């Protein structure tokens, strides 16, 4: 997995989770949905990179 993509994936997960939890705390459900989407995108990016690595071996 490339280091840059791995860092991007992890950052998206952390930021998405933070946004989602903060939005729930102030009852902003539309913002919580955006945070959840960002978190999911980070997870998928990480999975994609792990899959690419497994095919290279």
Q: What is the pLDDT of residues 26-50, one digit of tens each?
A: 999 999 999 999 999 999 999 998 8
* Core vs surface per residue 10-25: b (16+ CB within 10 A) or e: eebbeebeebbeebee
State the average pLDDT for the chain.
Answer: 90
pTM of the model: 0.82
Question: 């939005």: which residue's tokens?
Answer: 23
The H or E element that residue 57 is part of is none
- Alpha-carbon gap, residue 48 to 57, rounded angstroms: 15
């Amino acid at each position: 997995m490339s280091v840059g993509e791995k860092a991007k994936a992890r950052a998206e997960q952390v930021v998405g989770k933070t946004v989602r939890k903060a939005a729930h705390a102030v009852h902003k459900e539309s913002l919580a949905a955006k945070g959840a989407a960002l978190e999911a995108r980070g997870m998928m990016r990480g999975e994609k990179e792990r899959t690419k690595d497994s095919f290279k071996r």
